[in-house]
């Protein structure tokens, strides 16, 4: 059947690879053995493609775009091509050439034997750093599931992605509501310094004065039943006489005080950060982190020392991801510790529910809280990772200037790219980090004060109160620490420019050195959080000042119990 065959066009995701494969069958009753293969445009094929194509007797003009091509690489000798004929279960005795199939595989050789260290290291970095982060984005609904597949745009996967994203948003909204209704974490400074179950508040404010002032009225009967009945009657009389409407409402409807500042405002900030991240990563499909990582790795040469530093950087990024995962897990354990410390507190809204229903509701809250913390982790890890990339890039630039291995014009171009990367860092990512930073800072401050004024001496309560501020302060310190290190290391460029002006630079006149020094000093290289420059000295001063303020408040007995050994 002449004129029948297939042509497959392989196009990479960035359109840097264009490969055409044309197959045709030489005979009408041939079962696919000995098929002709024509390769075209093989000049830019990388030995890293993993492509499979099945010839099932389609028309010659039909084209298929196969996803999965890697970056362009100037070597096509090591591409492995395998041609294998296969029959899909039809009887070959019928002589129908439509039963023939040709499978073509161009598989990844794993960059074995490649002399390009940057290519292999970048491939490893994408595999070990970027892909886990992409999984984190997909977990919170900021990246489509199965995005890298050729079937990602099919109707089935669109429905799956829509349902999954809706589920994530529903879990977040459920977590917000559960926090308010259950007064989660018990963050009321006045009420929650002791046992903090709200029945205890009603007992102290109602029965303690009753037993002190009106005990004689309750003991005039001799039987126990009449005594209890008299207590209940006098409790109602005392409540109506001596309590205001506001106190009576709190007794009948125990709930959290300061709901707006403790729960509603942080949850609003969190959902705003989630919406911004959804638009930034899912709608715009922003790949700022990917592009920065490629620029940073490609600016390094194939020198073994710098390759080792790349490996060290990959190791650091993997440690960030591992620590972030441990933090989310520990946050879930902290929530279980909270339930245990307060003896599984119940709210009136849950009193009519069955015990199994309460377990289900709490399990959903655990899952929703994990998503809540994963959103914070995704934002913080993006900011922290970009800061680490920028630090690596600045170190390479400073090293080249100190070694005098680059010219001034190239150094100026590198600084412009560095300023552009910092501007992108200070944009959407910095704003989202600021929003979650406010949440983390509030939880840290409230946790510290609750720890200092805690009056419950049980070990489990002290353990919960002590670990609560530590968990949130740790995640708050990561972006602050990284931003401070970026600003600190960027100051090295100014120091190097002064040394170059004093000691000279190869092939550069004094006028060129003056121009370079002015350019460096007028280029703003600052990482920002909370819309302010995070300077290491300012950060250290703020920490010391806050510690001294707490010390003065404790020593003057304004906060904390009197018997606190501090």
525-561 pLDDT per residue, tens: 999 999 899 999 999 999 999 999 988 888 887 776 6
Q: What does DSSP assign to residue 103?
A: E
pLDDT tens digits along 485-506 = 999 999 999 999 999 999 999 8
58 closest CA partner among 104, 105, 19, 3: 3
Give the pair of three-digit tokens for residue 83: 């041609």
The size of the chain, in residues, is 566
Does 347 or 130 have the greater pLDDT score? 130
3-state secondary structure of 39: strand
Is the pLDDT confidence value at 436 over 70?
yes
Task: Report the half-sphere exposure of 103 (CA within 13 A, side-chain side).
Answer: 9
Whole-angstrom distance, CA of residue 90 vs CA of residue 68: 30
CA 341 to chain centre: 29
Is the pLDDT confidence value at 202 over 90?
no
Mean pLDDT computed over every residue of the chain = 74
Given a contact cutoff of 8 angstroms between Cβ atoms, the answer to whether 193 and 450 are in contact is: yes
Does 74 or 222 have the greater pLDDT score? 222
Calculate Rg over the CA atoms of the chain.
Answer: 33
Is the pLDDT confidence value at 14 over 90?
no
| pLDDT (average), residues 209-238 | 51
pLDDT attached to residue 88: 39
Q: How many CB atoms lie within 10 A of CB 170?
A: 13
Q: Provide φ and ψ at 43, rounded to 5°.
A: -65, -30
Q: Which residues contact 317 (CB under 8 A, 6 or more apart)?
A: 125, 128, 129, 385, 388
| pLDDT (average), residues 470-477 | 96
| pLDDT (average), residues 388-409 | 90
Given a contact cutoff of 8 angstroms between Cβ atoms, the answer to whether 152 and 144 are in contact is: yes
Beta-bridge partner residues of 106: 51, 81
Q: What angle do CA 203, 208, 210 make, to 5 degrees?
A: 110
pLDDT category at 181 given cuts 50, 70, 90 is: confident
Whole-angstrom distance, CA of residue 203 vs CA of residue 277: 46
Does 16 or 450 have the greater pLDDT score? 450
Q: Which helix (H) or strand (E) holds 463?
A: helix 459-503
pLDDT category at 236 given cuts 50, 70, 90 is: low
Is the pLDDT confidence value at 566 over 80?
no
pLDDT category at 563 given cuts 50, 70, 90 is: low
76 closest CA partner among 52, 117, 42, 104: 42
Q: Which of 52-56, 119-123, 352-356 has the lowest mean pLDDT?
A: 52-56
pLDDT attached to residue 358: 84
**Taking the C-alpha atoms of 458, 461, 462 and 467 in order, what is their torsion angle to the nearest 10 degrees?**
160
pLDDT attached to residue 498: 93
3-state secondary structure of 101: coil
| pLDDT (average), residues 435-440 | 96
pLDDT attached to residue 318: 87
Angle (deg, nearest 10), helices 355-403 and 131-139: 150
Whole-angstrom distance, CA of residue 95 vs CA of residue 91: 8
pLDDT attached to residue 493: 94
pLDDT attached to residue 384: 95
Q: Which of 159-173, 185-199, 226-240, 406-420 has the lowest mean pLDDT?
A: 226-240
What is the value of pTM for the model shown?
0.73
Contacts of 423-430 with C-beta under 8 Å, sequence gap 24+, read 424/288, 424/292, 425/383, 425/386, 425/387, 425/390, 425/527, 426/526, 426/527, 426/528, 428/276, 428/280, 428/286, 429/280, 429/288, 429/379, 429/382, 429/383, 429/386, 430/383, 430/527, 430/528, 430/529
pLDDT category at 343 given cuts 50, 70, 90 is: confident
pLDDT attached to residue 561: 65
pLDDT category at 138 given cuts 50, 70, 90 is: very high
Given a contact cutoff of 8 angstroms between Cβ atoms, the answer to whether 86 and 103 are in contact is: yes
Given a contact cutoff of 8 angstroms between Cβ atoms, the answer to whether 362 and 172 are in contact is: no
pLDDT tens digits along 69-123 = 333 333 433 333 333 334 434 444 444 444 444 445 444 444 444 455 666 767 7
| pLDDT (average), residues 252-267 | 78
- Strand 65-66, strand 81-85: pairing: unpaired
Whole-angstrom distance, CA of residue 424 vs CA of residue 416: 12
Q: Which ranges of 190-277 would DSSP assign to H, the alpha helix?
A: 198-202, 208-213, 215-218, 224-242, 245-252, 259, 265-277
| pLDDT (average), residues 334-362 | 81
Place of tokens 């501020």: 469
Q: Which helix (H) or strand (E) holds 542?
A: helix 536-555
| pLDDT (average), residues 14-27 | 46
Q: Which of 173-177, 246-250, 350-354, 386-390 has the lowest mean pLDDT?
A: 246-250
- Strand 18-24, strand 36-40: pairing: antiparallel
pLDDT category at 345 given cuts 50, 70, 90 is: confident
Sign of CA dihedral 73, 291, 534, 539: negative
b/e for 344-370, b at 16 or more Cβ within 10 A?
ebeeeeeeeeeeeeeeeebeebeebbb
- Strand 81-85, strand 532-533: pairing: unpaired
pLDDT attached to residue 323: 94
pLDDT attached to residue 211: 46
| pLDDT (average), residues 191-202 | 51
pLDDT category at 229 given cuts 50, 70, 90 is: low
Residue 46 CA: distances (Å) to CA of 17, 41, 81, 464: 8, 12, 13, 55
E strands present in 263-363: none
471 closest CA partner among 329, 349, 318: 329
Q: Which of 15-19, 155-159, 509-513, 561-565 has the lowest mean pLDDT?
A: 15-19
pLDDT attached to residue 322: 93
Whole-angstrom distance, CA of residue 74 vs CA of residue 400: 27
Q: Which of 58-62, 304-308, 490-494, 504-508 has the lowest mean pLDDT?
A: 58-62
Beta-bridge partner residues of 102: 85
Does 406 or 565 have the greater pLDDT score? 406
Q: Which helix (H) or strand (E) holds 354?
A: none
Is the pLDDT confidence value at 194 over 90?
no
pLDDT attached to residue 453: 86
Does 114 or 395 have the greater pLDDT score? 395
pLDDT tens digits along 149-174 = 888 889 999 999 999 999 999 999 99
């Amino acid at each position: 059947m002449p004129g029948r065959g297939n042509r497959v066009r392989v196009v990479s995701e960035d359109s840097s690879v264009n490969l055409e494969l044309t197959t045709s069958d030489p005979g009408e009753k041939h079962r696919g053995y000995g098929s002709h293969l024509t390769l075209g445009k093989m000049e830019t094929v990388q030995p890293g493609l993993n492509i499979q194509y099945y010839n099932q007797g389609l028309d010659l003009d039909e084209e298929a775009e196969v996803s999965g091509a890697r970056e362009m690489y100037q070597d096509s000798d090591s591409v492995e091509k395998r041609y294998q004929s296969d029959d899909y279960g039809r009887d070959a005795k019928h002589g129908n050439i439509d039963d023939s199939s040709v499978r073509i595989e161009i598989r990844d050789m794993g960059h074995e034997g490649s002399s390009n260290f940057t290519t292999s290291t970048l491939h490893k970095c994408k595999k070990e750093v970027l892909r886990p982060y992409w999984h984190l984005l997909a977990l919170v609904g900021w990246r489509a599931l199965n995005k890298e597949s050729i079937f990602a745009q099919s109707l089935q996967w669109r429905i799956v992605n829509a349902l999954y994203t809706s589920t994530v948003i529903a879990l977040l909204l459920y977590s917000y509501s559960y926090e308010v209704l259950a007064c989660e974490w018990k963050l009321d400074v006045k009420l929650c310094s002791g046992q903090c179950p709200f029945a205890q508040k009603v007992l102290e404010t109602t029965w303690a004065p009753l037993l002190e002032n009106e005990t004689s009225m309750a003991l005039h009967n001799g039987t126990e039943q009449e005594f209890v009945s008299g207590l209940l009657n006098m409790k109602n009389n005392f409540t109506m006489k001596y309590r205001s409407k506001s106190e009576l409402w709190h007794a009948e409807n125990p709930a959290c005080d300061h709901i707006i500042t403790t729960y509603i405002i942080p949850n609003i900030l969190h959902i705003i950060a989630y919406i911004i991240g959804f638009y930034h990563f899912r709608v715009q499909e922003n790949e700022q982190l990917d592009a920065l990582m490629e620029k940073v790795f490609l600016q390094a040469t194939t020198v073994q020392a710098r390759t080792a530093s790349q490996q060290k950087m990959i190791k650091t990024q993997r440690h960030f991801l591992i620590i972030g995962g441990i933090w989310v897990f520990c946050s879930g354990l902290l929530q279980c510790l909270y339930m245990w410390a307060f003896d599984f507190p119940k709210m009136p809204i849950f009193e009519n529910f069955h015990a199994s229903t309460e377990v289900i509701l709490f399990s959903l809250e655990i899952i929703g809280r994990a998503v809540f913390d994963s959103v914070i982790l995704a934002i913080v890890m993006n900011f922290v990772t970009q800061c680490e990339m920028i630090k690596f890039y600045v170190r390479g630039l400073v090293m080249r200037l100190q070694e005098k291995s680059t010219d001034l014009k190239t150094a100026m171009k590198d600084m412009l790219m560095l300023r552009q990367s910092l501007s992108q860092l200070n944009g959407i990512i910095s704003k989202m980090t600021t929003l979650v930073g406010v949440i983390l800072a509030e939880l840290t401050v409230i946790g510290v004060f609750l720890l200092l004024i805690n009056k419950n001496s049980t070990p489990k309560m002290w353990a919960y109160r002590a670990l609560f501020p530590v968990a949130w302060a740790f995640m708050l310190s990561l972006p602050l620490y990284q931003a401070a290190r970026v600003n600190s290391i960027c100051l090295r460029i100014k120091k190097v420019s002064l040394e170059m002006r004093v000691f000279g630079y190869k092939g550069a006149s004094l006028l060129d050195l003056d121009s370079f020094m002015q350019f460096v000093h007028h280029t703003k290289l600052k990482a920002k959080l909370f819309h302010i420059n995070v300077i290491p000295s300012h950060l250290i001063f703020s920490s010391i000042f806050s510690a001294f303020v707490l010390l003065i408040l404790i020593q003057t007995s304004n906060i904390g119990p009197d018997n606190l050994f501090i």
